[in-house]
Structure 1
Amino acid sequence: MIPTVSRAPLLLASRLLLAMLFIFMGWGKLTGFSGTVAYMTASGAPLPSLSSIIAILVELGLGLLVALGVLTSPVAILLALYTVATAFIGHHYWTFSGMERYDMWIHFYKNFSIAGGFLAVAATGPGRFSIDALTTNTSSLKF
C-alpha cells in the first residue's frame, strides 16, 4: 500500500510551480515593456500596447494571487482561460512550417496542459498553506 501523502504541501507546490511561469513572464513583460509591445505587434495581438498592459496585469497580478492562495479557485479559472486564449494568439503553429511549426505546436499544447493544471487547482482549492485558508473556516481548505 502506498502511504498517504499530505495534500497541503502538494497543493502549495502546484500553485507555486504554475504561478512561477506567470510571475516571471509578467515581470519580464513589465521590465521590457517596449519589447513586449513589439512582440504583441509581431504576433498580431489586437491593440498591442493595451494587450501588453493586460498581459502584465494578468500574468504578474493573477500569478501572485495564485502563488499566495488568494481567491484561488476563481483566479485559477481565469488563468486557465487566459492560457488557452494566449495559445491561439501567440502560438498559431498552423501559420508556420518546419521546425518553427513544431516549436509553436509544442508551445500551443503546453498552454493547454498548463490550463489543465489551473483547472485542477480550481477544483481542489488552495490547501492549508494559503491566504484563503487563513481567511476562511471552510473544512475543504484544511488538507
Structure 2
Amino acid sequence: MPNIRQGCFADEVILLARLLLLVLFFKFGWSKLADYSGTVGYMAQTGVPVPELSALIAIVVEVFVSLAILLGLATRPLAVLMAVYTIAAGFFAHHYWTMTGAARYENEINFYKNFSIAGGFLLLYVTGAGRYTVEALFGRGRSKTTAPSP
C-alpha cells in the first residue's frame, strides 16, 4: 500500500480532513453567533471566566478561524491555535471531575474527544493545507504537504 503522503490523493484527503475537523466548530460557532446572549449565559453558568469576552473569543475562533483553515489561509499557525483552543475548551467546558452520574460520563467523553481533535489539528500543522487552498489559487503559499522547515 503506498504512503498516503506520496499517493495521488494526498491533497484530497487533506482537504477532506480539514473539512471534517472544522464542521463541528463552524456549526456550533455559528449557533453561538446567532444566540450571543444565550452563549454568554451558558458560559457564565459553566464558570468560564469573563463570559462576554469568552463568548466573543469562541465565536471568532469557531467561525472565522475555522473558515480560514477550511479555505487554506495561514493553516499551520491557525491549526496550532485551534489545538490550544480545543484543549482549553475541554478544561473550561467539560470539567467532568467536578460532576457525578451521567453528566460526569458525558463530559468525560467530550473532554477526551477535545484532546483527540487537538491531535488532528497538530497533524494538520505538520502536513500543511495541501494543494487546495485560496493561497495556492492565487499563487501564494506552498502546495507541498511537507513538514515545516526548522
TM-score, normalization: structure 2?
0.88
Distance of 1:7 and 1:51 partners within structure 2:
36
Deviations 1:18-41 (A, max 9, x none): 111111111100001111011100
Check 1:12–1:139 CA distance in 2 against 1; reply closer, same or farther (3 A cut).
closer
One-letter code aligned to 1:136: R
Matched, 1:138 2:110: no
TM-score, normalization: structure 1?
0.92
CA contact (8 A) 1:126 1:132 kept: no
Unmatched segments (≥5 aa) in structure 2: none
Deviation, structure 1 residue 132: 3.0
Matched position secondary structure for 2:132: coil
Distance of 2:68 and 2:130 partners within structure 1:
14
Alignment of 1:53-64 (within 5 A): 53-64=56-67
Distance of 1:22 and 1:62 partners within structure 2:
9
One-letter code aligned to 1:49: E
More helix by share: 1
Matched position secondary structure for 1:63: helix
Matched, 1:101 2:104: yes
One-letter code aligned to 1:138: R
Q: Counterpart of 1:41?
A: 44
One-letter code aligned to 1:140: K
Aligned length: 142
Give 4+ residue runs of structure 1 displaced > 6 Å after superposition: none
Unmatched segments (≥5 aa) in structure 1: none
Distance of 2:143 and 2:26 partners within structure 1:
29
RMSD value over aligned CA atoms? 1.7
Matched, 1:23 2:23: no
Check 1:47–1:139 CA distance in 2 against 1; reply closer, same or farther (3 A cut).
closer
Deviations 1:111-130 (A, max 9, x none): 00100000111100000111
Provide the identity percentage: 48
